[in-house]
Amino acid sequence: MQKTSTIAPALKQKHSLSRTWRKCVENKYLLIMTLPVLVYYIIFNYMPMFNVQTGGILMAFKQHNLTRPFVEWDWVGMHYFQMMWRRPDFWISMRNTVSISFIRLAFEFPMPIFLAILLNEVHRRKAKRIFQTVYTFPHFLSWILVIGLMKDLLQINGVINGFMTTVLGRQAFNYLANDSFFANYAMLVISNLLKGVGWGSIIYLAAIAGVDPTLYEAAIVDGANRWQCIRHITWPCIKATAVILLILQVGNILNQGFDQIFNLVNGVNRNIIETIDVYIYRYAFQQSMNQSFAAASGLFKSVINFSMLITANLIAKKLGENNLF
């Protein structure tokens, strides 16, 4: 590229066109191999977006009509966005979503990495496999079941309060219905961790498995201790994956586990843990399903999530870390 910059623009363009062509011919296998992937995305993602009958994304700005084609729908502009924005409940749910997101980034995100490193330090294969299998169990339980179990444990008449009051002589505490920030967020984080940390660590274990074992042997021969091995061999291997997952997680800032929160929310903790998804469900889906409102709220979330992803990626790039694009 640098060489061509000295040549006249017209020539350069011609040159680069033919160069692209040559590149395509040279790598025709790569292009052929990508074809099925592109076809998939065109059919299942782009065709719905540019559907004439329903208008795709533009549905958010028009009044959805079930029988007539998109062009005949009434234009409503930002009506559905305002319908979402103008309630104080919306801003409360936004605040909750963002704070839950950050708390999850701080406390939940590092845990699978930590667990993967610890598991990697277990050298007995059998123990390692047993641990790993046990940790993945709860991933397969639905939130309804997990929360049913949490109720058994955490109710006033439950096991933990029973222990607290009879053995420790403490006051019973209503873990499931209280308005304490700390108690609620701790419950969200801990339950989510116990359910998902094992599953989340699998991807990091795969990354660690890519490490050449001779590296460890060489390091030990050089007299490196355990901590040094982790820092200089294991961690660099995980880091690339961790950064990518971190960027994607930041790009997911407005999606915070609907099932978990929807099943835990009640009158007492609503103002603390109700997220934007639960809010949208409450106003749009519970009583009167409205496709345009759903499209508007989806678009709103997408725009924020996408800009967060771009920002996170930019920061990663600036820091010289691995990044998405």
Partner 1 sequence: MKVRIKWLQLVLVFSLVFALILTGCQTSDDTTTTAPAGGDNGDGNGDGDRETIDITVSLWDIEYSFPGGDPDEIAVMVSDMFDINLTSINVGWGDADEKYNTWAASGQLPDIIGAIAHVGQGRYFQWINDGVVRALPDDLSAYPVINQIMQQDEVLAFQVDGNNYFLPRQTYEDSSWWAMDRGLLVRKDWMENLGISDPVTEQDYIDLTVAFATQDPNNSGSNDTVGLVPSGVWILTSQGLPGFGYTDGRWVLEDDGYIRPAITSERTLRLMEFVKEMYQAGGLDPDFATLDNALEKFAAGQAGILARQVSSKHLKAVLDMWVTLQPDVDFFESVSILRGPSLDGEYTRFTEMAYWSESYFNANVEDDKMGRILELYDWLYSDEGMRTMMWGIEGTDWEMDDGEINLLTDVNEETGLHTPTAEIYPFTYAMSYLAAWTGDLVQYIDPAIPQGIRDMASEELDHRLANWQAPDVDWAVQAINVPEKQEIAGLTYGDDWVRFIMDSSGKDSQTLYEEMVANWNANGLQDAVEAVTNAAREQGLID
Partner 2 sequence: MDTTLKKTDLTEVTADSKIKKSVGDRIADFLIYTFLTILALSVFIPFYNMVLISFARYQDIVRTSFYIYPKAFDFQNYRMAVLYPNFMNAALVSLFVTVVGTSLNMLITLLGSYTLSRKNMPFRKPIFYFIIFTMFFGAGLIPWYLVVRNLGLVNSVWAMIAPPMLNTFYLILMRNYFLSIPESLEESAKIDGANDIRIMFQIIVPVAAPIIATIALFYAVDRWNEWWLAMLFIQDSSKLPLQLILRRMVVDATIDLGNDMMNAMRDANIQVHSRSLQMATVTITTIPIMIVYPFLQKYFTKGIMLGAIKA
SS3 62: strand
Q: What are phi and psi of 75, to 5 degrees?
A: -80, 125
Question: Binding string, 167-206, against partner 2, x = CB under 8 A?
Answer: ---------------------------x--xx---xx-xx
Can residue 157 be called a binding residue for partner 1 (CB under 8 A)?
yes
Q: Number of C-alpha atoms within 13 angstroms, CB side, residue 125?
A: 0
Q: CB 121 → partner 1: shortest distance, Å?
A: 31
Give the interface segment with partner 1, choosing from 84-92, 103-111, 213-221, 308-316 (CB under 8 A): 84-92
- Residue 89 contact, options partner 1, partner 2, none, Cβ 5-8 Å cut-off depending on partner type: partner 1
Q: CB 316 → partner 1: shortest distance, Å?
A: 38
The answer to whether the CB of 276 falls within 8 A of the CB of 254 is yes
CA distance 167 to 181: 27
* Interacting residue with partner 1 among 94, 122, 177, 211 (CB under 8 A): 177
Q: Copy the structure tokens of residue 267.
A: 């009158």
Q: Number of C-alpha atoms within 13 angstroms, CB side, residue 102?
A: 5
Give the interface segment with partner 2, choosing from 4-12, 73-81, 125-133, 274-282 (CB under 8 A): 125-133
Q: Which is nearer to partner 2, 64 or 272 (CB)?
A: 64
CA–chain centroid gap for 171, Å, is: 38
Stretch 92-121 residues interacting with partner 2 (CB under 8 A): 115, 118-119, 121
Q: CB 165 → partner 1: shortest distance, Å?
A: 11
* Interacting residue with partner 2 among 5, 8, 226, 287 (CB under 8 A): 226
Provide the angle, in degrees to the nearest 10, between the axes of the packed helices 143-154 and 159-166. Answer: 20
**DSSP string for 180-225:** -HHHHHHHHHHHHHHHHHHHHHHHHHHHHHTS-HHHHHHHHHTT--
Can residue 128 be called a binding residue for partner 2 (CB under 8 A)?
yes
CA distance 152 to 146: 10
Q: CB 185 → partner 1: shortest distance, Å?
A: 18
Q: Which is nearer to partner 2, 9 or 36 (CB)?
A: 36
CA–chain centroid gap for 77, Å, is: 30
- Residue 267 contact, options partner 1, partner 2, none, Cβ 5-8 Å cut-off depending on partner type: partner 1
Stretch 62-81 residues interacting with partner 1 (CB under 8 A): 65-68
CA distance 53 to 64: 11
CA–chain centroid gap for 195, Å, is: 15
Residues that bind partner 1 (CB under 8 A): 54, 65-68, 83, 87-89, 148, 151, 155-158, 172, 174, 176-177, 179, 266-268, 270, 279, 282-284, 286-291
